[in-house]
Structure 1
């Protein structure tokens, strides 16, 4: 409980002390009349406004090869390749097309990479180091020996960027500061149907694109969105994003599952057939059989295309044969060489998909 008398006495003591102090000051300054006049004290405060770096000017920057004030050409990709060659980096690619979302992340360092891909089918992880590659499907459901070689251009899917740069009317519009670096921004609002895109689309109805790159030519991000008419599926929309980051800071180490894949992974050896008129795919290794949902696609420089679905598993010792009949129709057999196939010559691109993931992507010459 507070003592009221004690509090009152304390207040009086404080006031008395204050009065004594004022009187003493008055005595020092002169007469009592002077003490009654208030004394003004003026304090000047200097405030320094925060300084900010001015935004970079596009006119002050030197543009990389392939870029002018009016346009951005596909030659920029060659500059980008040189800028990131042998430099660790992380590549993120997202694509939404035909209602299917694909997300891919590639971490690259010193000739080895780890890729994770999530899309319509089961997740697949790809590890490659100095040409030794393995694929893990659905978190360990199946393992395959994977791609033997993969360049940064392939990992970055630079061919897709080339298609967009050749089609879109990209033009530098400004320079910005993002993530501590100066970037040049180029935008596009229209696109023409190039020969390559004409194989996929009947027309492009609307188009927007945004590309950012350093003055040295390294691409940081590429975003594209366009509406199209597909001759088979009708109208649709594609959204596609490419991003390179953690340049020089990405580290990559072999995941634990690589040792399992090395022991249990299926291996596919693609080579010309006995008489050179067809392709053979020899299957070895594996723990049991592959998933029965198989799809093979092969072709020769746009002249002949073949594809087939196989509702069966492939096991150790099986051989898959691929050829063309006299009508350029595909001929696919298992363990029995095909009969009455054309005697063709030239490079053949071969792809094999097992329950979604691509486990073969190679070229063989007949």
Structure 2
């Protein structure tokens, strides 16, 4: 009996030692990662996780060829709403509040402030920079994940080459030419915590640019977002516009009928309803409310975009522009943000 007891004790001791010395299992990959690299589910897993919590996100993008900072933005986001901030190139500090289907912004321009209503409310892709991060995942092939931290679990993936040259990140059209470096870190919840990439693209106009981007998500579950104090002022001052075709459809009669003026450096865009063509009219001078302006084409179509011009007060008599032959709508932009909603252009 004693021998049997000793044998049982020895067996139990050996089992405990084996359990103590055995290596712990590695955490399972989060959704979107596999032993072969990143899958098509990684970005969707990333944004689905962000939709369930609050967070802070910050990103920047540098045109290395021209030493030009293209973007530097950040958002504080809570479920269904976000407050963004950045400084526009050739402009001033911007704040934007996105909630539900609405988004209002303000920009400080020295001695004045301009306001607008963006056409995209709270969309997780806008807040989580989908035009860059999702396109990076599509454009490049990604190597096997490496577990770089166990508590908390963090994996790193590195870009190994070009997968889809036409998937150009960041509001660009053309193709990716080469990859210098690219890496992302992903936590167990599926959130892409960091992204860094440097690559070269050729735009449709033939210009070649080398760019780098950085992206960071942090403070998950720790952020609170409240409507800013300036929101009622933005609602009141965001422009309202009217537009119609005139003079045998050669011109678009355009007017800001309420709200603040359109600032210099902005643009008015006339979109064909089929989304195939547009006419872009840059504003070198402010367009004040109540001033009737006439927009017209002044240049050949290039990749679906025509250069446009503006004449204030009356239809110009010394031009013969190409008529607007389709159905259209028109809006005004302050760089990438709308001043106002699109309105149909009627005769």
Global fold match (TM > 0.5): yes
Alpha carbons of 1:67 and 1:267: their partners in 2 closer, same or farther (altered >3 Å)? Answer: same
Matches within 5 A, 1:1-366: 60-97=26-63, 98-101=66-69, 102-121=71-90, 122-138=92-108, 141-147=112-118, 149-177=121-149, 181-192=152-163, 194-197=165-168, 200-201=173-174, 204-229=177-202, 234-263=207-236, 265-269=237-241, 282-286=255-259, 289-297=261-269, 299=271, 303-318=276-291, 328=301, 329-333=306-310, 341-345=323-327, 352-353=333-334, 358-360=337-339
Deviation at 1:364, TM superposition (A): 6.5
Alpha carbons of 1:92 and 1:352: their partners in 2 closer, same or farther (altered >3 Å)? Answer: same
Report the counterpart of residue 8 of structure 1 in structure 2: none
Deviation at 1:104, TM superposition (A): 0.3
Deviation at 1:137, TM superposition (A): 1.2
Q: Matched residues in 2 for 1:332 and 1:276: separation?
A: 15
Deviation at 1:327, TM superposition (A): 6.2
Q: Matched residues in 2 for 1:302 and 1:132: separation?
A: 23
Q: Matched residues in 1 for 2:85 and 2:219: separation?
A: 17
Q: Matched residues in 2 for 1:227 and 1:75: separation?
A: 25
Structure 2 gap segments, 5+ residues each: 1-22
Deviation at 1:155, TM superposition (A): 1.8
Residue pair 2:84, 2:96 contacting (<8 A) in 1 also = yes
Q: Matched residues in 1 for 2:250 and 2:188: separation?
A: 51
Q: Note the aligned Cα RMSD (angstroms).
A: 3.9
Deviation at 1:86, TM superposition (A): 4.1
Deviation at 1:94, TM superposition (A): 0.9
Alpha carbons of 1:232 and 1:332: their partners in 2 closer, same or farther (altered >3 Å)? Answer: closer
Q: Matched residues in 2 for 1:66 and 1:154: separation?
A: 20
Deviation at 1:217, TM superposition (A): 1.9
Report the counterpart of residue 15 of structure 1 in structure 2: none
Deviation at 1:143, TM superposition (A): 2.5
Q: Matched residues in 1 for 2:147 and 2:250: separation?
A: 56
Q: Matched residues in 1 for 2:32 and 2:145: separation?
A: 15
SS in 2 for 1:125: strand
Q: Matched residues in 1 for 2:78 and 2:251: separation?
A: 38
- More strand, by proportion: 2
Deviation at 1:232, TM superposition (A): 5.1
Residue pair 1:169, 1:191 contacting (<8 A) in 2 also = yes
Report the counterpart of residue 26 of structure 1 in structure 2: none
Alpha carbons of 1:186 and 1:273: their partners in 2 closer, same or farther (altered >3 Å)? Answer: farther
Q: Matched residues in 1 for 2:94 and 2:145: separation?
A: 39
Residue pair 2:238, 2:339 contacting (<8 A) in 1 also = no
SS in 2 for 1:77: helix
Greater Rg by CA: 1
Alpha carbons of 1:108 and 1:210: their partners in 2 closer, same or farther (altered >3 Å)? Answer: same
SS in 2 for 1:84: helix
Structure 1 gap segments, 5+ residues each: 1-55
Q: Matched residues in 2 for 1:363 and 1:291: separation?
A: 18
Q: Matched residues in 2 for 1:170 and 1:74: separation?
A: 11
Alpha carbons of 1:351 and 1:87: their partners in 2 closer, same or farther (altered >3 Å)? Answer: farther
Figure out how many residues of one structure are paired with residues of the other and give that number: 304
Deviation at 1:330, TM superposition (A): 4.6
